[in-house]
Amino acid sequence: MSGIELAVIGGTGLYRLAALSDVQAAEGETPYGPPSGPVRIGRLAGRRVAFLARHGEGHSLPPHRVNYRANLWRLKELGVRRVLAVNTVGGITERYGPQVLGLPDQLIDYTHGRDASFWDGEGGEVLHVDFGDPYTPSLRAAVLAAAGRAGVAVVDGGCYGATQGPRLETRAEIARMRRDGCDLVGMTGMPEAGLARELGLDYACLAIVANWAAGCGDAGEITLEEVLANVEAASAGLPAVLEALLG
Ligand code: HPA
């Protein structure tokens, strides 16, 4: 299948794209195992758009169990060339309070033990992709411009720190991440972005701030209810951004 203009990978709280019409499910395995679920391909703003729920449609996969390689491989196999990853995150620095939408331009990877490359030595081939700018500048610029046209506020730039999870971070860990220069913290940003680069896919991250990270803002105990309520509120602008991006 080809002619897919954009794929959206949905994170916590985003398991469907209600704005998609004429949706068909593409099921399929990959050499890396099964993806998180079917890729749902439909129409949005007159274009073909694919959607994949990163954690599975019933949110059954924690961040460290997501088969990132299968997900990206499957999208590429279906003809996808541009991926907008939607990631639920905690906010560390002032600009990134709950319900903010952000478009980070840098990342730091604190994850471990995940299958982080398609080039893991089998067959003797080793590849070192350039990753200085982990998010594709042209796609970031297009999303920012679309958000502007749609009248949806998006914070431009910032550094996403990818943690292992599934537990949330300690205050000391977040304090260290702040010293490192992280503005946002999430559990799913890597290895996804690196794998997309290895496959030559354009990739940008639209981060939805669900809560203040530990020890930041007025953070108290972080609950799933708080996370989901803020994701729902902040996601309200997403269809308009996608329409503007595709239109
Ligand atoms: N930390 C890590 N991941 C997250 C958070 C957080 O505070 N909130 C939502 N995803």
Q: For position 104, which CATH number holds?
A: 3.40.50.1580
Main-chain dihedrals φ then ψ at residue 33, nearest 5 degrees = 105, -170
**Residue-level pLDDT at 127:** 82
* Cβ atoms 25, 59 nearer than 8 A: no
The average pLDDT across 207-221 equals 92
**Residue-level pLDDT at 123:** 66
Task: For residue 231, tell me if it sits in a domain.
Answer: yes
Nearest residue to 237 (alpha-carbon basis) of 79, 101, 96: 101
Task: For residue 124, tell me if it sits in a domain.
Answer: no
- If you take atom 5 of ligand 1, which residue's CA is the nearest one? 90
* Cβ atoms 180, 108 nearer than 8 A: yes
Residue 138 CA, ligand 1 centroid: distance in Å: 27
Mutate to test the pocket of ligand 1, among 64, 88, 89, 190 (most ligand atoms within 8 A of CB): 89
Atom number in ligand 1 closest to CA 91 = 7
The average pLDDT across 194-208 equals 97
Q: What is the pLDDT of residues 25-69, one digit of tens each?
A: 999 999 999 999 999 999 999 999 999 999 998 888 999 999 999
Residue 166 CA, ligand 1 centroid: distance in Å: 9
Residues, the chain, total? 247
pLDDT at 151 over 90: yes
**Residue-level pLDDT at 29:** 94
Spell out the SS3 assignment of 210-232.
EEECCCCCCCCCCCHHHHHHHHH
**Residue-level pLDDT at 219:** 74
Please tell me the chain's helix, strand, coil percentages from 3-state DSSP, rounded to the nearest 5. 30, 25, 45
Pairing of strands 101-103, 47-53: unpaired
Percent of the chain with pLDDT over 90: 86
**Structural domain harbouring 172:** 4-119+129-246
pLDDT at 119 over 90: no
d(CA 120, CA 189): 20
User: Is 124 in a helix, a strand, or coil?
Assistant: helix
pLDDT at 1 over 60: no
Task: For residue 80, tell me if it sits in a domain.
Answer: yes
**Residue-level pLDDT at 4:** 95
The average pLDDT across 142-162 equals 98
pLDDT at 125 over 70: no
**Residue-level pLDDT at 126:** 65
Number of compact structural domains in the chain: 1
Binding site annotation covers 119?
no
Task: For residue 156, tell me if it sits in a domain.
Answer: yes
